[in-house]
Structure 1
C-alpha cells in the first residue's frame, strides 16, 4: 500500500488516498483500477479500503481508496461537510489522478462504493464515462434519506433550521457539528435506540470492530442544505449506461439500502449489464465487514469487474 495526497491543478485542497496494489505488483505493467468510495461519516481505513479495497487488490486490481473532501485526512474547510455534489466530484478527481499513473489502464477503471458511497458511485457513473463498471454495496440514496429519516420526515423544517444556523455561524457563532450515532452500543440501548441500522451502525463505528481515527461519524449541520434537494438516481433511466451491479442484504433497516437498491436496479434500464445481488439473511452493516456476506458480494463483484475491465468471462 502507498499513501498519497492527490492535488490536481484545479483543486484548492488535497484528497488523501491509499493505493492498494495486487500481489507481485510490477510498475512496468498496466492494471485495471477500481476507485473505492467510503460511506457517509466513514473514512478510507474502514470498509471501503480495509475490506473491499484490500480484497479487490488481492484479486489483481489497483485500488484507490480515499477520504472525501472535508473529511478524514483530506483537506477542505470547514470540516465534516457532507456535500453530495462534492462527493461525486471527488470521484472524478481521483480518476483524474488515476489516469496519470503509468501502471493504470485508463480504459479499465471501475468504481465501488459502500452505503452512501454506493449512492455516490451510481450518481457519478451517470456522467463520468471513464467509469466502465460500477458496483454499489448496500448503497443508500443520501438525498432520499435526508428528506425522510434524517430530517424526521420534515425536510422543510430541517432546511429552516439549517438556514438559521448558517446565519449564526456567518455572524461568528459556533459551528454546529452533529454526532450521527450514540457513543456506544450500551448508550444506544439505554436510550432505546435499538432500530436495526442505528444499532448496527453504532456497533460498527463505535467499537473496535470498525472504529478508526478518521471515521468521525460527524456532520456540519449548517452546510447540509443541498443534500435535501439531491437525488442519487436522477436520470438513471437514460444516463446510467455502463454495467451496474447492486448488492443488498434482505434484512431491511431504517436507512433504506434494500429499498434504494431495488429502486435503482429497476430504473437503470439503459445499463448494458444490470445485476442485482441479494445477500439472503444479512443486513446493511453485515455487508460492511462480516466475512460471509462480504464473500457473497465479492463472489459476484470480482468476476463482474474482470468481465468489464479485463474482458474475461
Structure 2
C-alpha cells in the first residue's frame, strides 16, 4: 500500500488517499483501477478501504481509497462539511490523479461506493464517462435521506435553521458540529435509539469493530444546505449508460438503502448492464464488514468488474 496526497488545480487543499496494489504488483504493467468511496461520516480506513478495497486489490485491481474533502486526513476548512457536489467532484479529482499514473489503465476505471458513498458513486457515473463500471454497496441517496429522516421530515425547517446558524457563525459565533450517532451502543439502548440502522451504525462506528481515528461521525450543520437540494439519481434514465451493479440487504432499515437501490435499478434503463443483488437476511451495516454478506457481495461484484474492466485478464 502507498499513501499519497492528491493536489488538483481546482482545489486549495489536498485529498489523502491509500493506493492498494495487487499481489506481485509490477509498476511496468497497466492495471484496471477502482476508486473506492467511503460512507457519509466515514473515512478511507473503514469499509471502503480495509474491506472492499483490500478484497479487490487481492483480486488483481489497483484500488484508490480516499478521504473526502473536509474529512479524514484530506484538507479543506472548515472541517466536517458534507457537500454532495464536492463529494462527487472528489471522485473526478481522484480519477484525474489516477490517469496520470503509468500503472493505471485509464480505459478501465471503475468506481465502488458504500452507503452514502454508493449514492455518490452512482451520481458521479451519470456524468463522469471515464467511469466504465460502477458498484453501489447498500447505497443511499443522501439528499433523499436529509429531506426525510435527517430533517425529521421538515426540510424547510431544517434549511431555515441552517440559514440562521450560518449567519451566526459568519458573525463570529461558535460552529455547530452535529454528532450523528449515540456515544456507544449502551447509550443508544438507554435512549431508545434501537432502530436497526441507527443502532447498527453505532455498533460499527462507536466500537472497536469499525472505529478509526479519521472516521468522525460529525457534520457541520450550517454548511449542509446543498444536501437537502441534491438528488443522487437525477436524470438517471438518460445518463446512466455504463454497467451498474447495486447490492442491497433485504433486512430493511430507516436509512433507506433498500428503497434507494430498487429505485436506481428501476430507473437506469439506459445502462448497458444493470444488475440488482438482493441479499436475504442481511442489513445495511452487515454489508460493511460481516464476512458472510461481504463474501456474497464480492462473489457478484468481482466477476462484474472483471467483465467490464476488460484489461483485468491481462495487465500489459
Name the TM-score, length of structure 2 as normaliser. Answer: 0.98
Aligned to 2:222: 222
Q: Do structure 1's residue 258 and structure 2's residue 258 form an aligned pair? A: yes
Helix, strand or coil at the partner of 2:309: helix
Query: Matched residues in 2 for 1:253 and 1:191: separation?
Result: 18
* CA deviation string 1:110-137 (max 9, x = no partner): 0000000000000000000000000000
Aligned to 1:202: 202
Aligned to 1:177: 177
Query: Matched residues in 1 for 2:311 and 2:238: separation?
Result: 25
Q: Closer, same or farther in 2 for the Cα pair 1:312/1:35, shift >3 Å?
A: closer
Query: Matched residues in 1 for 2:286 and 2:17: separation?
Result: 25
Aligned to 1:124: 124
Query: Matched residues in 2 for 1:78 and 1:208: separation?
Result: 28
Query: Matched residues in 2 for 1:200 and 1:151: separation?
Result: 20
Query: Matched residues in 2 for 1:10 and 1:267: separation?
Result: 32
> CA contact under 8 A between 2:53 and 2:65: conserved in structure 1?
yes
The alpha carbon displacement at 1:310 in A equals 1.8
> CA contact under 8 A between 2:105 and 2:311: conserved in structure 1?
no
Aligned to 1:88: 88
Query: Matched residues in 1 for 2:33 and 2:245: separation?
Result: 17
Aligned to 2:242: 242
Gap regions ≥5 residues in structure 1: none
The alpha carbon displacement at 1:8 in A equals 1.9
Gap regions ≥5 residues in structure 2: none
Name the TM-score, length of structure 1 as normaliser. Answer: 0.99
> CA contact under 8 A between 2:133 and 2:243: conserved in structure 1?
yes
Aligned to 1:270: 270
Helix, strand or coil at the partner of 1:107: strand
Q: Closer, same or farther in 2 for the Cα pair 1:312/1:108, shift >3 Å?
A: closer
The alpha carbon displacement at 1:106 in A equals 0.2
After TM superposition, where is structure 1 displaced by more than 4 Å over at least 4 residues in a row?
A: none
Matched residues, number: 313
Helix, strand or coil at the partner of 1:232: coil
Query: Matched residues in 2 for 1:83 and 1:283: separation?
Result: 26
The alpha carbon displacement at 1:9 in A equals 2.2
Query: Matched residues in 2 for 1:180 and 1:253: separation?
Result: 16
Query: Matched residues in 2 for 1:70 and 1:193: separation?
Result: 28
Provide the alpha-carbon RMSD of the alignment.
0.8
Helix, strand or coil at the partner of 2:281: strand
Aligned to 1:103: 103
